[in-house]
Chains A and B, each alone.
Chain A
Amino acid sequence: MSSGVAVDLENITIRFGDFTAVKDANVNINGGDFFSFLGPSGCGKTTILRAVSGFLDPSEGRVLIGGKDMAGIGPNKRPTALIFQNLALFPLMKVWENIAFSMEVAGASAGERRKRADELLDMIALGGQGDKLPSELSGGQKQRVAIARALCANPDVLLLDEPLSALDLKLRQHMRTELREIQKRVGITFIYITHDQGEALTMSDNVAVMKAGVIEQIDTGHHIYDDPSTPFVASFVGENNVFRGKVKSINGANAVISTNRSGDLLSRITPAQVGKMQVGDDAMMFIRPEALELAPTDAASETTITANVMNEEFEGNSFSVFLEGDGGKMIKMSVPNLGQDHISARGENLSLRYDASNAVAMPAGELASE
């Protein structure tokens, strides 16, 4: 079993004609990591993966696998295996032939191939199904065959392009755990692409969030969620209430933001931006719905917002309360379900408070989608 190998992207830019699909990406992936690229559709995730696997050459920059420059090395010579967005199982070959294809092209005998395929079939819990055609398998089974086929090539790096996107929710959650387990077992580097943040956050050691060809942040799932370094990341990953305004004062890692509609609010400056913000700058401040809680009505401070209840939705483990603050500012609050019948009444005026350490401020920028 091969151990993980590091993958480094150095200043990669990829252009299609005049269109720049990936702009100056720098990524260092440790050997044996589960690394995810997260971003909205069309942001260039697949393009990066294709550059790693060798189907296209970056217009600028280098791809290093295990420290070795991959320029001029074709996809069939790289120690990577790609699991395609649509799996790309060979429809005319039996399942076991699919799995052992990499051995077939390397000239292994049918006996050897069958043996290895059967081992892998057992591993993916499809023992005895090797003689089926891919069309005779269920979605999740095909998924596992694709993984086995890639693993059979003994790659140092496994590249997965949204492999779970076609599955239903239950199967998807199941496959997440399974993938993570496989990764731990084989110990190779996984590079995983998804636009599902839940997937990225639960499985990965590190996540790169992309926006329109640019890598916005590379961090652990925790940091991506708690310390987003750009407004895009803050608004793309999870839900967030955004407050626009200007920096009123800065005190070390904290700042007071004079928001356009909700008064002055105190917030932590996101770690990546500490020391980079100036008083008077345009700023954005984010508070997650679950960081808001009810406060006594008369409490007036720099961590309190008042708003009128518009609507309330029951979501099982929590209630979502939608409120309208001053100037029509929409705010969402999430309250855990602890057995209450309801949180609020429509039209009720509420005071919401938060802990300043749960709010993050950063220079204003583009949001994921408004």
Chain B
Amino acid sequence: MSSANLIRVALGAYLLIFFSYLLGPLVVMSLTAFNSASFPAVSPWACFSYEWFEVLFNDKHIRDGIYYSVVIGIGTVILSVSMGLAASIVLTQVWPKLRSTYYTMIIAPILIPGVVLGISTLVFWDRVGAFLGVSDGSLLHGLFHNGIFLTILGQSTFIASYTMLVFVARLQRFDTDLTEAALDLGATHTQAFRKVLLPFMRPAIASASVLAFLASFENYNTTTFTILEYKTLTTVLAQKVRLGINPSISSLAFIIIVLTIFAALAFEAANRNKDRKLAAAQGRGVTQKSGILPSFLTGNPAAVVLVLLAFMVIVMVGTAQRYSPEACKIAVREAKQIEIQKRIDALKETRRQKEDAKAAQQPSNAAPATPNNSSAFGNVFAPGNLSGDAPEQKVDEPEPQSGTGAFGNVFAPDNLSSD
């Protein structure tokens, strides 16, 4: 009895830890997108703000990166889906003794480190150019040293293995008699492929395309070698993150996360809907006559969440047009300045004490009361503000005991509740 309970508690705790590890960082990152502080953080919370989205949308590098990522993604989808499909069809026909060798070869790219794939692609096409003796500036030379061309080839090398796996799974359920039936009825091989096999493979082609596009879009290891003078979103991001981070990256992450959730929910909702339709078609479906909600929503939590989420996004975009964090920012700046003023005062106080002590000629008693600047933000903001406008606020305002504590400032701005 109690051991079963213990297991249940342990399982709950474990699930909690696992999902915190998995999702926590993403949640934190998303939150930092809305903090006006110039360093991505949730604490101290400065102001609720959309400004990083603006920074993001105005960032030309990121826009370019997205553009090339999409171009490369499309190219990779086309190439890897065709190669994966061809390879999976050949797999069903290949001579049995050759099959396992063949399978090993087409699955191997999944296991080759992306870095190695990038390098080998780069080196090989450089060699091909040299071998063909194409001169600098010629069309082929340009092609073999074109970052987009090389990246599509490099990525397709392993992404085709992924698509191949998707196709193999689907092909296992294909009845080859259907192709023969088509041929027997006078279809050419191409017609049989187009009219019989291809429609059957369509769902698999769709999911393989999505998979390939996403894999291409988020690839870094291979791309960073093959992209040469171009940029993709990932290489831009990597560069930005390495050079110094700011919350506009968080805001990009937030957008991607929301899109991913959208896609996942839409997929789930569509699946549910299909399941229910199937059940209904088989005559054991639930009676569908809910008056208020469209039938798509009833008994489909994913769809409900999806609609709610869409609503939230609309609200967010709507408020983003109106909302201005300026008031808050000023308040924060003021708070900061109070803080600084206090420190200055404290400094002055110590100095005065020291002087007093000196005056009293009791050097042995002097306490070196240096202010404790344990917070990184304190340091970050201190220099600019110290030299900036002079502090002139009411010093008697109540303050949290530790201005740099983890949650010290979270409650300061009232805007938080508007979220």
Q: Which residues of A does B touch, CB under 8 Å?
A: 53, 55, 74-77, 80-82, 84-86, 88-92, 101-102, 104-106, 149-150, 153
The stretch of B30-38, B57-65, B172-180, B210-218 in contact with A is: B172-180
Mask, B160-186, CB within 8 Å of A = 1, is: 000000000000000101101111111
Beta-carbon nearest neighbor of B281 in chain A = A136
CA distance A225 to B200 in the complex (A): 46
Chain B residue numbers with a CB within 8 Å of A91 are 178, 200
**Interface of chain A, helix or strand or loop or mixed?**
mixed
Contacts A/B (CB < 8 Å), 5 sampled? A53-B184, A82-B181, A84-B181, A92-B200, A101-B182
In angstroms, Cα B187 to Cα A92, docked, is: 17
On whether the beta carbons of A104 and B195 are closer than 8 Å, the reply is yes
* Nearest CB of A to B358, in Å: 95
Asked if A86 meets B175 with Cβ closer than 8 Å, knowing A92-B199, A105-B187, A105-B191, the reply is: yes
**Min CB distance, B80 to chain A, in Å?**
25
| Complex CA distance for A137 and B183, rounded to whole angstroms | 24
Interface: B305 (CB within 8 A): no
Contact assessment for A84 and B187 in the assembled complex, using a CB-CB cutoff below 8 Å: no
- Determine whether the beta carbon of B184 is less than 8 Å from that of A105: no
Tell me what chain B mostly uses at the interface: helix, strand, loop, or mixed: helix
**Residue interface mask B17-32, A partner, CB < 8 A = 1:** 0000000000000000
- The complex places the Cα of A104 from the Cα of B182 at a distance, in Å, of 11
B132 CB to closest chain A CB (Å) equals: 39
The CA of A153 and the CA of B186, in the complex, are separated in Å by 8
Expressed in whole angstroms, the Cα–Cα distance for A102 and B180 within the complex equals 13
Within 8 A of A (CB), among B245-300: none
Residues in B neighbouring A104, C-beta threshold 8 A: 195
Contact A88 B180 (CB under 8 A): yes
Known: A88-B175, A88-B177. A76 touches B184 (CB 8 A): yes
Beyond A75-B184, A76-B186, 7 extra complex contacts between A and B, CB < 8 Å? A74-B183, A82-B184, A86-B175, A88-B181, A90-B196, A91-B178, A150-B185
Q: How far apart sit A106 and B187, CA to CA, in the bound complex (Å)?
A: 8
Distance between Cα atoms of A89 and B196 in the complex (Å): 10
Query: Which residues between 184 and 232 of chain B lie within 8 Å of chain A, taking CB atoms?
Result: 184-188, 191, 195-196, 199-200
A105→B177 contact, CB < 8 A:
no
Q: A84's closest neighbor in chain B, by CB?
A: B177
The CA of A149 and the CA of B186, in the complex, are separated in Å by: 12
Report the interface size class on chain B: 10 to 19
Nearest CB in chain A: distance from B288 CB, A = 20
Distance in angstroms from A120 CB to nearest chain B CB is: 13
Quick check: A90 and B181 within 8 Å, CB to CB?
yes
> B182 to chain A: which residues have CB within 8 Å?
90, 101, 105
- Please tell me which one of the listed residues A55, A85, A92, A153 contacts residue B185 in the complex, with CB atoms under 8 A apart: A153
In the assembled complex, the Cα of A104 lies from the Cα of B186 at a distance in Å of 10
CA A74 – CA B196 in complex, angstroms? 18
Chain B residues within 8 Å of A55, by CB: 180, 183-184
Q: How distant is the Cα of A67 from the Cα of B181 in the complex, in angstroms? A: 24
Q: How far is the CB of B189 from chain A (nearest CB, A)?
A: 8
Quick one: closest A residue to B202, CB to CB?
Answer: A92
Q: In the complex the two chains form, is A76's CB within 8 Å of B181's CB?
A: no
B141 CB to closest chain A CB (Å) equals 44
Flag if B200 contacts A102 (CB, 8 Å).
no
A251 to B178, CA, bound (A): 57
Is B180 in contact with A84, judged by CB distance below 8 angstroms?
A: yes
B41 CB to closest chain A CB, in angstroms?
54
Bound complex: CA A302 to CA B198 (Å): 70
B residues in contact with A102, CB < 8 Å: 185-187
Residues in B with CB closer than 8 Å to A92 are: 199-200
The residues of A that contact B196 with a CB separation of less than 8 Å are 90
Residues of B within 8 Å of A106, CB to CB, are: 186
Chain B residues contacting A101 (CB-CB under 8 Å) are 182, 185, 187, 195
Please indicate which of the listed interface residues B183, B185, B195 has the most CB atoms of chain A within 10 Å of its own CB.
Answer: B185
A105 and B178 within 8 A (CB): no
Docked pose: A86 CA to B191 CA in angstroms: 22
In the bound complex, residues from chain A placing their C-beta under 8 Å from that of B186 are: 76-77, 102, 105-106, 153
